[in-house]
Structure 1
Amino acid sequence: MFPNPVILQSEGLLKYILETGVYPREAETLKELRNATAKHPLGFMGTAPDVGQLIAMLLKMLNAKKTIEVGVFTGYSLLLTALTIPHDGKIIAMDPDRKAYEIGLPFIRKAGVEHKIDFIESPALPVLDKLLEDGENEGSFDFGFVDADKNNYWNYHERLMRLVKIGGVVVYDNTLWGGSVALAEERVSEAKREWRRLSLAFNEAISKDSRLQIAFLSIGDGLIICTRLR
């Protein structure tokens, strides 16, 4: 008999996971940034710490050195990546909201990893297109992380499939959109319906993309992990 999925997804179990296996291993600067982000009116947009732990493991397994981040907010995942990749590693990160990024900047500096980060204050698509104008950037990134406007996820995906190397990994966050993807539309609040539709369309499209091997995980608000095959 399978365990009850409701129990497996309970807040109590998440609390146990965080307190047992995540928070004790979380770098102090990450913890400080997470607490600072919680005070922001949109603090829920920050990367979940258990998601961050998984990203750090993927980065280590890939021996990632050159990464790209679409959507930064206050920079939890950015700081985590900078702490994980080598001293001479590089991250190109883009977000139009510099004010949110500056919340995390003191913690990035405190951790001594600012030299690894090239933050570009801009919507992502123009930056990605500019990168692709230089043929040397194609297939040169080891890892990508996307946590940005859901209506552009497929646009980001098409560009990242050219920028990330074969064998590289791209991770997409918020693919379950608060669990709404599993609900009938009439059970979803009007405010969430458009984003739910966008998430459903992206999830279906990426599941059919033969260029990838994927893992769809119900961690945080849902992750799709993609390995580029060709």
Structure 2
Amino acid sequence: MTIKSILVTDALYQYILSTSLREPEVLQQLREETAQHTHSVMQIAPEQGQFMALLVELIGAKKILEIGVFTGYSSTCLALALPPEGRITACDINEEFTDVARRYWAQAGVADKIDLRLAPALETLNSLIAAGDAGSYDMAFIDADKANYDGYYEQSLALLRTGGLLVIDNVLWNGQVIDPNIKDADTQAIRRLNDKIHVDPRVSISLLPIADGLTLAVKR
């Protein structure tokens, strides 16, 4: 028994992967290719992708919003977990990165489930709200530029249905959120959002020490 989450050593992490991870070959190939990318640190951990896919199944999600695509690991995980009629609205601004994602969506057989919107995400979210999509999404995943996290949070809440699930990545920011000497804009943006969500009566929450920190927030 323990009263707090245990420290995950490298050896224990490998054990977790060896006894839990069920990664399809297409996702393993995508992860290995992305590991060679200049911005490989933007890739989510495989156990996080599997966890989010499980959340899709648990809540019976059919309509998902993704903010931040990169090379497509998270969207591929989510799309594979969706039923045949399920759809993802994927927001990003980088065509080069998302060209890799498109290639793997096709390889995984999920390209028809994903609507990629190449534009600043806040513009896309505003357009979805203007089009009458508020309250229609089952799940949203935020993993993009940190400066706009608060805006993404607010717009995602507007687009989620009551009982919809909001998943926010990088909320522990490699531990930098607790270092008072680190005051860059990204770190402070994450701190502000963490503090805001902690007392936000519109959601029920849990911050989990998975990968770089993952907040789950259910819209009340």
TM-score norm. by structure 2 comes to 0.95
Q: CA deviation at 1:193?
A: 3.1
Q: Is the 8 A contact 2:72 2:104 kept in 1?
A: no
Which residue does the alignment assign to 2:72?
75
Question: Which residue is equivalent to 2:169?
Answer: 173
- In the alignment, the residues of structure 2 paired with residue 177 and residue 35 of structure 1 have an alpha-carbon distance, to the nearest angstrom, of 23
Letter in 2 for 1:113: V
Matching residue within 30, 53, 58 for 2:50:
53
Q: Which residue is equivalent to 1:117? A: 114
Q: Distance in 1 between matches of 2:63 and 2:2?
A: 41
Give secondary structure in 2 for the equivalent of 1:139.
coil
Secondary structure in 2 aligned to 1:224?
Answer: strand
Cα distance in 1 for partners of 2:4, 2:12 equals 12
**Partner residue of 1:62 out of 55, 59, 62:** 59
Q: 1:99 aligns with which of 76, 96, 101?
A: 96
2:152 aligned to 137, 143, 156, which one?
A: 156
* 2:184 partner SS: helix
Instruction: Give the TM-score, by structure 1 length.
Output: 0.91
- Runs (4 or more) in structure 1 with deviation over 3 Å come to 1-5
For 2:29 and 2:106, the matched residues in 1 are separated by 13
Partner in structure 2 of residue 197 of structure 1: 188
For 1:14, the equivalent position in structure 2 comes to 13
Matched residues in 2 for 1:146 and 1:218: separation?
A: 16
What is the number of equivalent residue pairs in this alignment? 220
Secondary structure of the 2:164 match is: strand
1:36 and 1:103 in contact (8 A); partners too? no
Structure 1, unpaired ranges of 5+: none
The answer as to 2:136 corresponding to 1:140 is yes
Equivalent-residue separation in structure 1 for 2:117 and 2:135 (angstroms): 20
Distance in 2 (alpha carbons) for counterparts of 1:57 and 1:8: 23
Q: CA deviation at 1:220?
A: 0.6
Letter in 2 for 1:226: A
What is the DSSP-based 3-state SS (H/G/I as helix, E as strand, rest coil) of the residue aligned with 1:72? coil
The whole-number CA distance in structure 1 between the counterparts of 2:49 and 2:105 is 15
Give the root-mean-square deviation of aligned CA atoms.
Answer: 1.6
Segments of structure 2 that go 5 or more residues without pairing to the other structure are: none
1:217 lines up with 2:208 in the alignment = yes
- Specify the alignment match of 1:128 in structure 2: 125
Percent identity between the two aligned chains: 40
Q: Deviations over 1:167-204 (max 9, x none)?
A: 1101000000111112232xx4xxx7332211111100
Report the residue type matching 1:160 in the other structure.
S
Separation in structure 1 between the aligned mates of residue 17 and residue 189 of structure 2, nearest angstrom: 30
The answer to whether the 8 A contact 1:46-1:73 is kept is yes
